Amino acid sequence: MIGLSLAIGVHNLFLALVAVLFIVLALIGFVLIYGFYRYRVQNRINVWTRYIDMKITEAIVNGSHEDLDESVFNRLMKRSSFRSLFLERLVASEKNFSGVAHVEIRNLFVKYQLHLEALKRLNQRKSYMIIGGIQELTAMEAREFLPEIERFLHYKYANVYHEAQYAMVALKGFEGFNFLKTFSKPISDWQQLRLLNSIVNIPDTGTEQVMEWLDSQNTTVVVFTLKLIRKFQLFAFYDRVKECLYHQEVKVRVQAVRTLQTLEGFSTVDDLIESYDSQPQEIQLEIVKVLKAAKDSRFVEFFKTQLSNHTLASIRIIAAEALIALGLKDYLIELINNQETSEELILIVKHAMQVKRW
Amino acid sequence: MVGFAHILYEIFIWLFLVYSSAVFLIYVWIGIYALGAVVRYKKENTFTDYSKIAVNPNGPVFSLIAPAYNEGMTIVDNVRSLLSLFYYNLEIIIVNDGSKDDSMQKLIEVYELEVVSFFVQGKLKTKDIKAVYKSKNPAFKKLIVVDKFNGGKADALNVGINVSSGQYIVCIDVDCILEQDAILKLAKPFLQQTDKRVIACGGVIRLANNCVIENGKITSVNIPKTWLGRSQALEYIRAFVLGRMAWSRASGLILISGAFGAFDKEIVLKCGGYDSSTVGEDMELVVRMRRYMEDKKEAYEVVNIPDPLCWTEVPETKEVLMKQRNRWMRGTMETLWKHRELIFKRKYGKLGMISFPYWFFFEFLGPLVEFFGYIVFLLFLVLGIINWSFFLVLFALVISIGILYSIYAILVDLISHQVYTKRKDFLILIATAVFEPFYFHFIVVKASVGGFIDYFKKSTAWGDMTRQGFAQNTKGLNRKERIVAIGKYALQSFGSFALVFTMLFAIAVLAEWLWYMHVFGEMNLAVIGKNLLFQNFTFVIKTLLIGGILFIVLNFLKEKWARITIQIVGTLLVVGHYILFIYFSESNNLLGADLFYYSKNELQQILQAGDMLNFQNIALLVLLFMIVYIPFWLADKYRLKSIYTSVILLGIGFLAFLIPDTILSKSFGEINEFELNAGKSKWSYFAESSSVDFVQNQSFIAEFTGLFKGDTKEDSSTNKNYPFLKKENTPDLLGSYFNKSDVTPNLVVIVVEGLGHAYSSKNGYIGNFTPFIDSLAGRSLYWENNVSSSGRTFAVLPTLLGSLPFGKNGFLEMKETADHFNLYNVLKANGFETGYFYGGNVSFDNAKPFLKYSQVDSIIGVESFGPPYRKLPESNGESWGYEDQAVFGKMMEVKDVQKEPYFNVALTLSTHHPFLINDTKHFEEIFQRRVKSNELSDDQRKWALENKKQLVSVLNLDEALKDFFKEYKKHPDFKNTIIVITGDHSMPEIPFETKIDRYHVPLIIYSPLLKQNKHFRNIVSHFDIAPSVLAFYRENYGLITPTNVTWIGNGLQIDERDNRVGIPIMQAKTILNDYIYGNYHLVGDQVFKLDNRLSEENVEDELELNRLKTNFEKFKKRNAVFYEQKKLMPDSIYNSYKKINIPKP
């Protein structure tokens, strides 16, 4: 190879390098021109954005769409990039308003047939374009296009089917969760948060489905369901949630403890205490937090034991805090002053005693 | 050698182009990949509602850790800025790293801090905490301030991690200003993770210089005022928007900036937190985390998001900037070194196969390669071999690509998140892209090189990479333990030297092979390559064993000596290899102990005449020394963690000594003599030759080993003290071919430098490039199969004129010329006028004492010439002397019609390396005509074209000889003159087909007195000429010749019978290794059978081998006796001849 290279000789490279140099210079020129073009486009977008925002404000405030020069607006609406920006601004504004204003925004969407813009994106190949289209239809509550969105529930890319899932729930409510029954892929915390935020109620008829989701092989579906039960305080599922304390996945158990705390019944603390010893430290920590919050004097000895013997410092700290909450500050002071108390325990107790409870 | 600098120039250009092309391709990839990543991120997050997590109490806890050291001026505002960040579950931990200013005081006052009892749960090892503070004011409940003893940034961050309670940590520089939604945006990738765990996430950092900051928030973005600041603004865009986005998308990111990055605390803790012993703690942590995940085989991601989340002040003075870049370079090197085992490890996936090599070859080596490029450029500039138009185009291309990349980065930034929205700022940024390569870039390169050097200077303070010296480690150990400790230490140290030596030697061998490929083109390079590899490997491992033992022993005496010695010796060995192989390629000879037998002046003349001692070559040699020394110097800074490498290498070396040399020096493949030599380890040859020579010089060793003189007992048939002395009974075999003249004929012997049979006869493997000599041979007594007695010129005069033995290093090398008979003194005694003609320095090869001893009447050397004679062209200000035309001209000049016969010897010069002649063009044309003619076969033509320069000089000689004869014929003496023409040896600069080719030279005896021409095919040698010539004169013209002589030869044979007289041949002044007897040629332990064309082939014939060896040994013993006695004959024999009153002819 090198021999070949040497044979070619440096001088013969000269012309090739000159050619490459010209190409690079041409590219610099192109990138520069395109850069300036993009800069102008950006400035134009800024102007348009202000113009569109004005249009939206006018619509919200006056309920009329005629205040601005319609001819100018209509002329701009012939431009795809303007329509796209208009739709984008509408969706962005939608988050900030509700009630009549929201209706006015939707009216603009309908009036200018911006759904066509959104639908066009659904047919793109790039996932972020599809996501944009779904987000726009969802924000504009374009339920008539649900079938268009539904086909993306099983799309190959997670970010696309996540968006479709969200759209289903946002537009169909509880019914939109139907996909959970068979959904085998993990649902991220972010997606769970969005889904939980978007659902406002659970119909009575939904119990069976919720029960079904708790049996899902998909851990994230179970976790999400537990969060759902917690949000809507579905007491009917107490026993079923209790069973989840022994779920094979720690993540599920953590959510089960937190949900049980929300669904607190007469036997909750006993149920938790019962399972305590068999749980890993992560779950024990969650249980101790619940027990601390319960302020049940029956567990004084339990807390004392945890404070003295547990290997996890965070549990010992909570145990000390629980004892303080139960009025055993003197016991802890005595513990601090005891010569035989270890340095670490003294530090833990002191740490717990100074915690501000704002 | 002149071409070597140019070749080096070409190699550098090509390497530079290859490297630059790789950089260019990577930039293209980064540019394209980053654009996709940036656009996708932007589009996907257009409608992201971060407010959902901002107020969500169930979100994970993020602990923001900001170490502070002497930040009293700004810390209050900075903390206020941090407290205003949007995120519900956020704790802000300020770690005061032992500030000497009033930082703590200000924080305590402004944020109403009080000391709290705080149980630190984390277990990372850190400096002690003085106190933990929390605010009494609920408004600052998120704030924790830790006051600790100074331990550096990494240590402070570790304290923050220990104190933190969050699931994720966000590490920042306290002087950074964060966007209020920075944590929200950083949190998203962590919350979005599903099948791949996000272990770290970084955001884009922008420059706060010249921006308007109010209440800890950026309210107006402006581009920095200084060009340094602007260049960094551009640099940050390139790095964050392009580089990190591309690597993030490709899952290859290994750097999350220390100024702003979020990490999964669980993984950080499992990895042991930040490494406080490195200045590049940010990169090191990410590499360690990735490594941990790879080891655990867990899917993971390191993510960068293109949102500008953090604003930082960058240095706007050159000094501070250089310090920062110096530190970055050291940090990079520390991380690369610490995790060096990752590189090219398939097990570590993209981390080992892509990211780490990229960082090594481009981020680390990039500035160094560039800096080295500047040095090389300056060197080439000084050497005057810069092709300016090429250089300027290349330079313009490199700069243009840099500008293109910068402008592209601005464009991508514009598409993603336009930070600099003002038109003026945008234009300044474009202008910066154009100017930056001419100013800022050089500063960064300089600082990086400084960092590279400082890394080694300061390495004594850095942990396990350091060379602590063993003295302190062996304190308190008993003797045995101390010996073991020192031995172990020495082995560890030796390991790094051994690896460097092996690597550099391998490079040198590769360079040697490539060099041969370039110079010798058509050789059997594959076989040469194999031989080079094998034989040099043997040399290296043997050297390592010897060097290793010496190094360990020296370590016990004084560690420093050992280290210095090994660095120097290693460098010399590697550089020596380059010198040896270049010597071989220039001279086609292996350099052996003959080097020591040239005087300083002779060496200087050889080097200068060969154009070796020019400025370019000396500069290149100095550069080579530097380049080779640096790795040894670096090796000195480190020692290996284990002794296994050294033990294995030494073990292999030991085994190599156990294997017989005959196996180790065995060559692969079917190759000719030259190719065989090309494949040899030049160092091995030199070392072996020198050691044998040394032993021969040490009589006590020689006696012990019997190597040279051990048994000087001569066989009973010869005189014990004068083994070469014998009765003169050489038959006159020439007389019958000559007409009898009335007067004693003159004798002229012309010894042509480097006149090999290969190119002076159509039967030679190169063909006939001496048309005149060839035609003369057809009119003469012509011995086609004549051999010289040596591979160099040093032996030709004693052999040709006196049939004399060699002694130890050639007859001429003897301090005092031993009494003997030769053509000069015998013919002179018979009334001949004698002369010696040489265009160069007569003292060369110690010829002058010999000529003086022989009482030569006219000794014509370089000083005897003058205008109009022309010298050979100078090479590097030095010329060998006068051209052949001048030598022959001088002979004619003094040849007036003489009463007495004369005997003249001429030794030519033009056909000597470096083959520079006058009228080159003319002879090149002749050369071209010959090459194109049908006289040459295809093979011969190929050989000829490869050795054009040498053959052009041969054509020059031939024409000079032709002209000489033309002139001579006009002279009345001519018809009564016998002219002997032969070569002193074959040119080693023209590759040999077989070993005998080195000595295969024509012998032509021409005279107008000849009755007939005759072509003889029997083997004769230079040893036979003097006896035959004297026999001719004695028998035909009544000359009185000595009755006792010491001829080695028995006289020329003119029939076809086998040669039954041994011909010893000395290849160089220290190598007496060839012997011809009958039709067999002995070389070392190999026997070659010679045919009637003097071609040879290797034969396995034990009988012949023994016979040859026995005879050769006999000769060697006789030669040894001569050398020991320093006499060839008793004084009485010599004196009695001298006293004879010989009548003049």
Condensed to tens digits (0 to 9), the pLDDT of residues B827-859 reads: 998 989 999 999 998 888 889 999 999 999 999
Name the minimum distance, in Å, from the CA of A67 to any CA of chain B.
28
Name the minimum distance, in Å, from the CA of B54 to any CA of chain A.
12
Inter-chain residue contact A31 with B408, CB threshold 8 Å:
yes
B98-153: pLDDT as tens digits = 999 999 999 999 999 999 888 898 889 999 999 999 998 888 989 999 999 999 99
- Residue B473 predicted with pLDDT over 60: no
Inter-chain residue contact A17 with B415, CB threshold 8 Å:
no
Residues of B in contact with A90 (CB under 8 A): none
Model confidence band, residue B560 (pLDDT cutoffs 50, 70, 90): confident
Q: How many CA atoms lie within 13 A of B948 on its CB side?
A: 15
**pLDDT for the residue numbered B1144:** 62
Q: Please state the separation of Cα B501 from the chain's center in Å.
A: 12
Inter-chain residue contact A6 with B121, CB threshold 8 Å:
no
- Candidates B47, B165, B198, partner chain A, best to mutate (most A CBs within 10 A): B47
B190-247: pLDDT as tens digits = 998 888 999 999 999 999 888 888 877 888 889 999 999 999 999 999 999 999 999 9
- Candidates A190, A198, A258, A335, partner chain B, best to mutate (most B CBs within 10 A): A190
In chain A, the residue whose alpha carbon lies closest to the alpha carbon of B40 is A128
Residues of A in contact with B404 (CB under 8 A): 24, 27-28, 31
Number of neighbouring beta carbons within 10 Å of residue A214: 21
- Residue B294 predicted with pLDDT over 50: yes
Residues of B in contact with A8 (CB under 8 A): none
Residues of B in contact with A193 (CB under 8 A): 52-53, 56, 59, 191
Inter-chain residue contact B517 with A3, CB threshold 8 Å:
yes
Domain boundaries, chain B: 15-47+176-456, 471-699, 726-1139
* Range A162-169 average pLDDT: 92
* Domain annotation covers residue A318: yes
Closest CA to B343 of B353, B333, B335, B334: B353
**pLDDT for the residue numbered B226:** 92
A199-232: pLDDT as tens digits = 888 888 888 889 999 999 999 999 999 999 999 9
Inter-chain residue contact A28 with B52, CB threshold 8 Å:
no
**pLDDT for the residue numbered B1075:** 93
**DSSP state letter for B1070:** T
**pLDDT for the residue numbered B2:** 45
- Residue B157 predicted with pLDDT over 90: yes
Inter-chain residue contact B518 with A6, CB threshold 8 Å:
yes
Which of B11, B116, B423 faces A354 most closely, judged by CB atoms? B116
B445-467: pLDDT as tens digits = 999 999 998 888 765 333 333 33
* Range A291-300 average pLDDT: 88
Which of B9, B47, B390 faces A14 most closely, judged by CB atoms? B390
* Domain annotation covers residue A322: yes
Name the minimum distance, in Å, from the CA of B465 to any CA of chain A.
36
Which amino acid is it at B1132? S
To the nearest whole percent, how much of chain B has pLDDT over 70? 91
Name the minimum distance, in Å, from the CA of A73 to any CA of chain B.
24
- ipTM surpasses 0.85: yes
- Residue B905 predicted with pLDDT over 90: yes
Inter-chain residue contact B403 with A28, CB threshold 8 Å:
yes
**What is the spatial distance between Cα B374 and Cα B798, in angstroms, rounded to a whole number?**
55
- Residue B863 predicted with pLDDT over 80: yes
**pLDDT for the residue numbered B645:** 87
**pLDDT for the residue numbered B717:** 45
Report yes or no on whether pTM surpasses 0.90: no
- Residue B1010 predicted with pLDDT over 60: yes
- Candidates A1, A10, A95, partner chain B, best to mutate (most B CBs within 10 A): A10
Listing DSSP states for A103-137 in one string gives HHHHHHHHHTTTHHHHHHHHT-SSHHHHHHHHHHH
A62-75: pLDDT as tens digits = 765 555 567 777 88
More confident residue, B22 or A100: B22
Which of B44, B47, B52 faces A139 most closely, judged by CB atoms? B47
Mean of per-residue pLDDT scores for chain A: 86
Which of A10, A21, A189 faces B13 most closely, judged by CB atoms? A10
* Domain annotation covers residue A70: no
- Find the domain containing A311 and state its range: 264-358
**pLDDT for the residue numbered B231:** 95
**What is the spatial distance between Cα B949 and Cα B920, in angstroms, rounded to a whole number?**
9
Inter-chain residue contact B404 with A354, CB threshold 8 Å:
no
Using the CB atoms, write b or e for A118-141: b if 16+ within 10 Å: beebbeeeebbbbbbbbbbbbbbe
Number of neighbouring beta carbons within 10 Å of residue B757: 25
In chain B, the residue whose alpha carbon lies closest to the alpha carbon of A135 is B47
Long-range pairs, B339-345, Cβ under 8 A, ≥24: B339/B284, B339/B287, B339/B288, B339/B291, B342/B287, B342/B291
Name the minimum distance, in Å, from the CA of B40 to any CA of chain A.
6
* Domain annotation covers residue A235: no
Residues of B in contact with A356 (CB under 8 A): 134, 138, 141
Name the minimum distance, in Å, from the CA of A88 to any CA of chain B.
8
Model confidence band, residue A97 (pLDDT cutoffs 50, 70, 90): confident
B782 forms bridges with which residues in the sheet? B1004, B1015
In chain B, the residue whose alpha carbon lies closest to the alpha carbon of A347 is B119
**pLDDT for the residue numbered B952:** 93
* Range B888-916 average pLDDT: 84
Model confidence band, residue B611 (pLDDT cutoffs 50, 70, 90): low
**pLDDT for the residue numbered B713:** 41
**pLDDT for the residue numbered B5:** 66
- Residue A4 predicted with pLDDT over 70: no
Which of A27, A188, A197 faces B192 most closely, judged by CB atoms? A188
Inter-chain residue contact B46 with A132, CB threshold 8 Å:
yes
Inter-chain residue contact B192 with A35, CB threshold 8 Å:
no
**pLDDT for the residue numbered B1054:** 64
A323-340: pLDDT as tens digits = 998 988 889 988 888 888
B1020-1068: pLDDT as tens digits = 999 999 999 999 999 899 898 998 899 998 888 766 555 567 899 998 8
Residues of B in contact with A14 (CB under 8 A): 389-390, 393
Residues making up chain B, counted from first to last: 1145
Residues of B in contact with A2 (CB under 8 A): 11, 14, 514
**pLDDT for the residue numbered B160:** 96
Which amino acid is it at B469? G
Inter-chain residue contact B138 with A356, CB threshold 8 Å:
yes
**What is the spatial distance between Cα A141 and Cα A153, in angstroms, rounded to a whole number?**
18
Model confidence band, residue B712 (pLDDT cutoffs 50, 70, 90): very low
Q: Is the N-terminal amide bond of B798 cis, ω within 30° of 0?
A: no
Name the minimum distance, in Å, from the CA of A301 to any CA of chain B.
23
- Residue A1 predicted with pLDDT over 70: no
- Residue B609 predicted with pLDDT over 70: no
Model confidence band, residue B742 (pLDDT cutoffs 50, 70, 90): confident
**DSSP state letter for B172:** E
Helix (H, G, I), strand (E, B) or coil at A289: helix
Model confidence band, residue B714 (pLDDT cutoffs 50, 70, 90): very low
- Candidates A8, A21, A122, A358, partner chain B, best to mutate (most B CBs within 10 A): A21
**What is the spatial distance between Cα A336 and Cα A349, in angstroms, rounded to a whole number?**
7
Tell me which H or E stretch contains B752. strand B746-752
Model confidence band, residue B307 (pLDDT cutoffs 50, 70, 90): confident
**pLDDT for the residue numbered B59:** 84
In chain B, the residue whose alpha carbon lies closest to the alpha carbon of A258 is B58
**DSSP state letter for B943:** H
Inter-chain residue contact A91 with B138, CB threshold 8 Å:
no
* Range B371-382 average pLDDT: 83
Strands B1063-1068 and B1071-1077: antiparallel
**pLDDT for the residue numbered A358:** 47
* Range B977-984 average pLDDT: 94
Residues of B in contact with A28 (CB under 8 A): 400, 403-404, 407
Inter-chain residue contact A135 with B191, CB threshold 8 Å:
no
Q: Are the C-beta atoms of B1064 and B1112 separated by less than 8 Å? A: yes
**pLDDT for the residue numbered B1026:** 94
Inter-chain residue contact B414 with A38, CB threshold 8 Å:
yes
Inter-chain residue contact A34 with B56, CB threshold 8 Å:
no
**What is the spatial distance between Cα B436 and Cα B407, in angstroms, rounded to a whole number?**
11
Mean of per-residue pLDDT scores for chain B: 86
Q: Lowest-confidence range among A96-105, A162-171, B288-297?
A: A96-105
**pLDDT for the residue numbered B352:** 92
Q: What total number of domains does chain A contain? A: 1
CATH architecture of the region B726-1139? 3-Layer(aba) Sandwich (3.40)
How many CB pairs lie under 8 A apart between chains A and B? 143
* Domain annotation covers residue A20: no
B69-106: pLDDT as tens digits = 998 888 888 898 899 899 989 999 999 999 999 999 99
